[in-house]
Amino acid sequence: MTLLNTKIYDFVVIGAGIIGLSVAKELTEQFPRAKIALLEKEKTIGLHASGRNSGVLHSGIYYPQDSLKAAVCSEGAKRMRCFAGEHNISCITTGKVIIATCENDLPSLERLLKNAADNKIRAERLNEDDIKRIEPYASVFQQGIYTPDTASIDSKKVLDVLLHINLSRGVELYLEHEVVAINEQSKRMTTSRNHFNYGYLYNCAGAGTDKIAKMVNLAKDYILLPFKGIYYKLKNERKYLVKSHIYPAPNLNLPFLGVHFTRSIDGSVYVGPTAIPAFGRENYGMIKGMSTEVFSITKYIALLYWANQQNFRALIHSEIKKYAKPYFMRAAKQLIHTVEASDLQTSNKVGIRPQLVNTVKKKLEMDYIIEQNATSMHVLNAISPAFTSAFCFAEWLIGRMKK
């Protein structure tokens, strides 16, 4: 194939998901004269995690004080709520309950309340009766937590508005431009269509970030493994079972929040997502999206399985079973005892979480991980709540580059 001309930019941002779009917007604010390109491998934006998530703006209660997630989540949520207001994007602050379902869940609630106190997040410890006043059908064991600031947002609209703002400020978007090689010395990258020269590069490629970072000899100790999030939909006649959001007390050693009930912005109630190992970074169907990486994925899942840090084996055993509806139902029923299998309809909502694995420590990374050199920065673990955090996170990333 003949490659076209070389294009020259001050900044090139790879990936037009929430992180790439937010970084590009922040760059236009901090460097109004800079020439900025945004490269996206797909025909359109929002085809991956940013367009397939639960659409929840998290309060930040899950993250310990010393984490980067804590530093950018709750402030990010505030900014995104304001942004939604300014741009007429549907966003409803509904609050959410996180409930204990058995005695073993109680210590996890204590840790969440400590995080809330440390990070100045509004959260209330509630007894069973108080929770029932908010979510009458939730099956609570003794206690739960209410976070009033949790919101539901129209994620796709956020992406569209961000794109529009970026384009109106002169950012040049290149769709169907997959980055395939980078020459760090000459600050030149090759996509499926063109060459680009950059002053500074932001790698915000979601599930592809590790591969791109490795092109410039970074991310040596890391690989991204895909975990599939399947959702069911609560049938219309039973939507009354959920007023806003019902989440379980999480296992705080793992980066997944557990199957939960979420009322999305259009009033639909989804149940999910799972965290099942997937056979490809875009393996959204059973077979569709399966990639040649399946052998390498299996190898790393096996590595984590044998190391069994963070109780990984238990995660795998419980998650793989959730492909079968009766096992998925068990997780749903823990939160609402009266929900029945016939209440859950299969849905086409499915997302993939590219989860960063530290191959040396043989564990899943919990926080956002950034690697950089003099000319590029790589956002390696933009997992949940990266949508919520995006505006604050983008500002943080640019601040770090300036330093």
- Nearest approach, Cβ of 342 to ligand FAD (angstroms)? 24
Label residue 168 exposed, middle or buried (CB < 10 Å: 0-12, 13-18, 19+).
exposed
Length of the chain (residues): 403
CA dist 280 and 291 (Å) reads 5
Query: Which segment (48-56, 105-113, 244-252, 290-298) binds ligand FAD by CB under 6 A?
Result: 48-56
Q: Decide if residue 25 touches ligand FAD (CB under 6 A).
A: no
Query: Which segment (54-62, 89-97, 292-300, 301-309) binds ligand FAD by CB under 6 A?
Result: 54-62
Q: Decide if residue 250 touches ligand FAD (CB under 6 A).
A: no
Structure-token pair, residue 91: 């966003």
Q: Decide if residue 69 touches ligand FAD (CB under 6 A).
A: no
Residue list 305-364, contact with ligand FAD (CB under 6 A): 351-353
Q: Decide if residue 14 touches ligand FAD (CB under 6 A).
A: yes
Nearest residue to ligand FAD, scored by beta-carbon proximity: 17
Structure-token pair, residue 390: 């995006």
Nearer to ligand FAD, 14 or 304 (CB): 14
| First-last CA distance in the chain | 40
- Nearest approach, Cβ of 354 to ligand FAD (angstroms)? 7
Nearer to ligand FAD, 124 or 178 (CB): 178
Encoded one letter per residue, x for contact with ligand FAD by CB under 6 A and - for no contact, window 214-243 reads ---------------x--------------
- Nearest approach, Cβ of 129 to ligand FAD (angstroms)? 28
Label residue 361 exposed, middle or buried (CB < 10 Å: 0-12, 13-18, 19+).
exposed
Nearer to ligand FAD, 17 or 144 (CB): 17
Give whole-number Cα distances, 275 to 16, 80, 259, 272, in Å.
24, 26, 9, 9
Unique residue bearing structure tokens 């001050």:
10
The string over 207-233, giving b where at least 16 C-beta atoms fall within 10 Å of a residue's C-beta and e elsewhere, is: bbbbbbbebbebbeebbbbbbbbbbbb
CA dist 102 and 100 (Å) reads 6
CA dihedral 182, 187, 193, 194 (to 10 degrees): -160
Judged by CB under 6 A, the residue of 100, 179, 216, 344 near ligand FAD is 179
Q: Decide if residue 96 touches ligand FAD (CB under 6 A).
A: no
Residue list 372-401, contact with ligand FAD (CB under 6 A): 382-388
Q: Residue count at the site for ligand FAD (CB under 6 A)?
A: 41
Residue list 261-280, contact with ligand FAD (CB under 6 A): 273
Structure-token pair, residue 146: 């209410």
Structure-token pair, residue 175: 């769709």
Nearer to ligand FAD, 122 or 125 (CB): 122
Provide the binding-site residues for ligand FAD, judged by CB under 6 A: 14-20, 39-42, 47-50, 52-56, 58, 178-179, 204-208, 212, 229, 273, 351-353, 382-388
